[in-house]
Amino acid sequence: MADDTDKRPDPDALLAVAQKEEASKHRGRLKIFFGAAPGVGKTYAMLRYGQEETNKGRDVVIGIVETHQRSDTQALADTLPQLPLRSIQHRNVTLEEFDLDAALTRRPGLLLLDELAHSNAPGSRHQKRWQDLEELLEAGINVATTVNVQHLESVNEVVQAIAGVRVRETVPDRIIEEAEELTLVDISDADLLQRLKDGKVYLGERGARAMANFFRRGNLIALRQLAMRVAADRVDLELRQFRAENAESESVGLRERLLVAIGMNADDEHLVRAGYRLATAMRCPWIVVHVDTVKGLLEDAQAQAWLWSNLHLAERLGAETVRLTGVDVVAEILAYAKLREVTQVLIGQSQGMRRYLWWWPGSLLGRLLSHKRPIGLTIHPLPTRKDVSKDSQERSRQYLGMVRSEKQRRQQKQALAIGVAAGVGMSLLGLGISALVGLPGLFLLYLVGAVVIALYFGRWPSVAALLSALASFYVFGLSRGLTATLGSLLSFAVIIGVAVLISQLVARSKEQESMARMRERRVRNLYTLVRALSRVHTIAEVLSTAAEQIHSTLGITVSFWLPAGNDAALPLQFFPPDQDPGTHREALNSAAVWVFQHRRSAGMGTDTLSSLPALLLPMVNNEQPLGVLLVSDLEIQRTPVDWFRYLETITRLIAAALETARTAEIRSEADLRLQVERMQSALLGAVSHDLRTPLTTILGSLSTLDHLQDKLSEAEQRALILDIYGQTQRMSENIERILRVAALLSGGTELKKEWVPLTEIVGNARRERQALCEGRPFTVQIPKDFPLLYGDPVLLTQVYSNLLENACKYTPAGSAIEMDARADEREIFLCVADNGHGIPPGREEQIFERFSQVKPPVGTGGSGLGLALVKSIVQLHGGRVWVINRLSNGGARFCFTLPRVAPPPPPKEG
C-alpha cells in the first residue's frame, strides 16, 4: 500500500457514514439494553435511563413495560407517563398489547419498549414487536428497548445447543446492528441465581419448570459469555467505524464479498446462518445463491418450500438472494462469482457417505477446489440427522400456504379403501382362475393389479391392495396345495417389493410430469399475461386485463388500489371503481396505505397484519410505489402451491405495465397541451380577423346613414339598416365561436361527456343553422337503434353546426345536404355531404388548418376557424376527421368518427 494513501479516509466508508447520517436524520435512534438472561435487570436499567432523560427535559413515554409485580421496578415505572395499552379480544381472552398507532400519533421524544422479542397477539398489525419497532424508527421516533441474547436470530442454534431449549421468539440481528447504542446489562451468574432463589426473577406462568432447567449455572455462564461476545463484536464494529471515519485505518484492504451456495434441503438453514456469521465477522456483503436445475425444478413441493423459506431467512439476515438457472451448478456459481467479484465461497458438506466423494469429478467441492481463479472456500459441515426441526417445517409450509386440504385428505382415504377392495377383488378373481393358471399365474395377477393401482392411485393404495390380497389369499384358502407357507409368504414379499418399487417409480414420474406441466403452464400464463399487457395502453385497461388474466389462469380474483391523483401519492382509490374491498373494508383500506407507503406486502401469509383475511402486495417499479394488489382470502386457499412467489412475479409485471401506461398517459397529455398551445397562438389572429371584417361594414353603413341620410331613399336606408343588422349578427356569432375556442383552450381539455342520442345533436345543429340553410332539401339517414354518442353535447353540436354552416355557405343555394351515420364495433362514423364543387384536390388536409378557405364566395366571408374547431373538438373526443370529394354527385363529404363506448344502463320505465 502506498504511503500517501495511508492516512486518508476511505471514500467508500465516508460515503457510507454520510448515507447513514442522512438516513438517521429522519430515522429514530435506537438504544438497546442487552442481557444474558431474564432477571439481570434490563427493564430496571431502561427505566432508570428513561428517568434520567426525563430529568434532562426529554419527553419520555412508556410504550409497554413488564414489571411482573416487582415493587422497585413498578415504583420506577410509575414515575413515567405510560401510553394506554390496546385491548385485543382473542378467543374469549382479552389481551393487552402495545398500541403502535397511539405511539405514532403521540410522537414522544423517547419511547420505552420492553421485551423486543415479544410476539404480538393475533389481530395486531405486525406479528412481532420488533416490526413495531422498525415502524417507530422509520417514523423518526427514538426508542429504548430490552433484548436477551437467546432471542438473537443468529445465535439461536448456539443457545439451543447450550441450554437445550429452542427459542421461538427471535429478533433479526440487523436490529442490533442498526442500534445507535448497545448497553450490556450484566450481573454475575451467582448473583442471578441468588435473585432467582429470592423469587426476584419472573419466569412466566406456564414454562416455569422448563425455565428453571434453563437457569443452571453452566447455562448461565455460557449465555453470559455469548452476550458479552455479541456486545464485544458490536464495540469492535464501532471502533472500526470510528477509525474509518477518522482515517486511523491501518490499511484499506481488499473488499471481501461472500457467496453462499444453497440447495433445496432443510439443513441449508444452518448454512445461511453460518454465512451470516461469516459475513458479519468479515464485515462484507454476502450473497445467497441457489441454482435452479431441471432436477431441482422437479423436486417436490416440500423442497421448494424449504428453499423459499431459507432464501427468505437470508434476506432477513441481510443477504442479497439470487436464483440462477442452469444445467451445470458449479459452472453457474463460478460464473456468477466472477461477475460479482466474489472473494469467498461458503458451501455445505453433508456428513453422510457423499462427503468421501469430494474427489469425484462431478462434485461441487472437487470442482471448486480445482478452479483456476483464486477464491476462498469455506466448507460448513451440515448435520447428518434427517429430522428437520418441526417448526422450520411448519414455517416453510405456512409460508407457502401448502397445508393439505380437507378434500385431498378425503381423496387419500378413498384411494386406500379402493386399494383394499381391489385386493379382495383380485383374490376373488383368483378363486375362479387358480385352477387354470396355477399359483405362478395367480402371483402374476397380483403383481399386475398392484402396478395398475399404483399407476392410478399411488404407492400406499397399491401396498394396501397387496396386503388385503395377502389376507384374503389365506382366508379364501387359495394357499391350499402350496407346499410350504413360507414359500408363499416369500413370494408375496417379492411381489410387494416389486410393486412398491414400481409404484414409487410411477408416483415419482407422475409427480415430475405434473410438476413439469404446472411449470410449463405457469410460464405460458406469464407469457400470455405479458402479451396481453403489451397490447393495452391505458391504466384502466392494464388493470382490467391483468385481473382478467389472473382470473382465467389462476382462478383467483384480484383487485387494486391506485393513487387517486396523477402523481404517485396518497390517497388511494379502489379499482374497479364501482366496487370496494367488501368486508373488512376499513382494515383493508388502511392496510393498503401501509403497503403502499412501506412497499412491503401484508396480510395472510406475511409477517405484517397476518390476521387479515387477504393478501396485499405492493406494485413497485423502480422503487416507486404504483399501487397495491389485493387477493382476498377464500381465493388464496384455492391457489396452487407456491402462489406467493408467482403472485409476486405477476405483480412485478403488472407494475411494469402500469408504469408504461402511466408514462404514455402523461405523454399524451403533453401532446394535447402542445396542440392547445398551437391553437392559442392562432386564436389571436382569428379574433382580429373575425371582428374587424363585420365591424368595417357596420361602421361604413352607419357613417353612410349619418352623412347621407338626406340623399338616401327610404328603401336604401332600410337596406343599410338590415345590412348593419346582418353584420352585427355575424359578429355576434363570431364572438360566440371565438369564445368557444378560447374556453376549449383555456379550460384545458375538460369535456363534459354525457350520453346523448345523435338525433338530438343533429336537431340542435339544424336549428342553429335554420336561417342559413333555409330552403335546402335535407336527407338525414340515421339507422334505427343507433348507439348513443358519448361526448360533450355542446361541442358535438358545434361540430355539426360548423359542418352545416360550411355546407350551406359554400354550395349553390337550394342544393341538397345529406347527413348519415353508421357504426362498427369500435367507432361511430358521422358524415355531412353537400352537392357543391367539392374540395380542390390536394387540399383535403389543409382546409382543416386555421384561416384556410376554399374560394370564399362573395359576401359569405368566414374566418376559416370553423373547420379548425371541428378538428380540435373531434380530436379531443379521440376521433378522426377527414373530407373526400364525392365521385357520383360531386360535392364534398365531411366525415368524423367518435370512439364507440360501452352503452350506459338503460333508463327505467315505471
Q: Under the rule (CB under 8 A), what is the footprint of another protein?
A: 725, 728, 732, 736, 739, 743, 752, 754-757, 759-760, 762-764, 766-767, 771, 780, 788, 793-794, 797, 904, 906-910
Cβ proximity to another protein: between 246 and 759 the closer is: 759
Task: Quote the Cα angle for 233-234-238, to 5°.
Answer: 115
Strand pairing category for 827-834 and 817-823: antiparallel
At closest approach, how far in Å is the CB of 899 from another protein? Answer: 17
Do the beta carbons of residue 118 and residue 65 sit within 8 Å? no
887 — alpha (psi -120 to 50), left (phi > 0) or beta? alpha
At closest approach, how far in Å is the CB of 820 from another protein? Answer: 13
Alpha helices in 179-216 (DSSP H): 189-197, 208-214
Cβ proximity to another protein: between 190 and 743 the closer is: 743
At closest approach, how far in Å is the CB of 757 from another protein? Answer: 5
At closest approach, how far in Å is the CB of 698 from another protein? Answer: 13
Cβ proximity to another protein: between 564 and 739 the closer is: 739
Cβ proximity to another protein: between 89 and 746 the closer is: 746
Quote the CA–CA distance of 571 and 590 in Å, as a whole number.
10
C-alpha gyration radius of the chain: 41
Cβ proximity to another protein: between 104 and 782 the closer is: 782
Which H or E run includes 144?
strand 143-148
Cβ proximity to another protein: between 786 and 882 the closer is: 786
Cβ proximity to another protein: between 81 and 903 the closer is: 903
Cβ proximity to another protein: between 842 and 910 the closer is: 910
For residue 132, how many C-alpha atoms fall within 13 Å in the half-sphere facing its CB? 30
At closest approach, how far in Å is the CB of 731 from another protein? Answer: 9
Cell numbers of 895, please? 366525415
Count the neighbouring beta carbons within 10 Å of the beta carbon of residue 81. 12
- Closest C-alpha among 45, 76, 80, 38 to residue 62: 80
Quote the CA–CA distance of 764 and 771 in Å, as a whole number.
13
At closest approach, how far in Å is the CB of 759 from another protein? Answer: 6
At closest approach, how far in Å is the CB of 307 from another protein? Answer: 55
At closest approach, how far in Å is the CB of 24 from another protein? Answer: 52
Cβ proximity to another protein: between 440 and 907 the closer is: 907
At closest approach, how far in Å is the CB of 564 from another protein? Answer: 20
* Length of the chain as a residue count: 910
At closest approach, how far in Å is the CB of 775 from another protein? Answer: 11
Cβ proximity to another protein: between 527 and 755 the closer is: 755
Cell numbers of 228, please? 458479552
Alpha helices in 27-94 (DSSP H): 42-55, 71-78
Cβ proximity to another protein: between 577 and 907 the closer is: 907
Cell numbers of 343, please? 472473494
At closest approach, how far in Å is the CB of 756 from another protein? Answer: 5
Cβ proximity to another protein: between 298 and 756 the closer is: 756
Strand partners, 614: 632
For residue 57, how many C-alpha atoms fall within 13 Å in the half-sphere facing its CB? 0
At closest approach, how far in Å is the CB of 868 from another protein? Answer: 20
Q: How far apart are the first and last CA of the chain?
A: 94
At closest approach, how far in Å is the CB of 761 from another protein? Answer: 9
Cβ proximity to another protein: between 364 and 738 the closer is: 738
Cβ proximity to another protein: between 535 and 908 the closer is: 908
At closest approach, how far in Å is the CB of 778 from another protein? Answer: 8
Q: What is the DSSP track for 827-859?
A: EEEEEEEE-S--PPTT-TTGGGSTT--SSPPTT
Do the beta carbons of residue 619 and residue 651 sit within 8 Å? yes
**Position 858: which residue type?**
V
Q: Which long-range contacts (CB under 8 A, 24 or more apart) does 664-670 make?
A: 664/537, 664/538, 665/538, 665/539, 666/566
At closest approach, how far in Å is the CB of 786 from another protein? Answer: 11
Count the neighbouring beta carbons within 10 Å of the beta carbon of residue 895. 19
**Position 685: which residue type?**
G
Beta strands, E only, 208-319: 258-261, 286-292
Q: At what angle do helices 71-78 and 42-55 cross, to 10 degrees?
A: 30
Q: Which long-range contacts (CB under 8 A, 24 or more apart) does 574-578 make?
A: 575/540, 575/543, 575/627, 576/543, 576/544, 576/547
Cβ proximity to another protein: between 36 and 751 the closer is: 751
At closest approach, how far in Å is the CB of 292 from another protein? Answer: 55
Q: What is the DSSP track for 387-450?
A: ---HHHHHHHHHHHT-PPPHHHHHHHHHHHHHHHHHHHHHHHHHHHHHHHHHHHHHHHHHHHHH
At closest approach, how far in Å is the CB of 768 from another protein? Answer: 8
Cβ proximity to another protein: between 199 and 907 the closer is: 907
The CA dihedral of 237, 242, 245, 246, to the nearest 10 degrees, is -140
Q: Which residue has the cell 457417505?
A: 353
Core vs surface per residue 188-200: b (16+ CB within 10 A) or e: ebeebbeebeeee
Cβ proximity to another protein: between 375 and 788 the closer is: 788
3-state SS class at 819: strand
At closest approach, how far in Å is the CB of 142 from another protein? Answer: 52
Cβ proximity to another protein: between 84 and 775 the closer is: 775
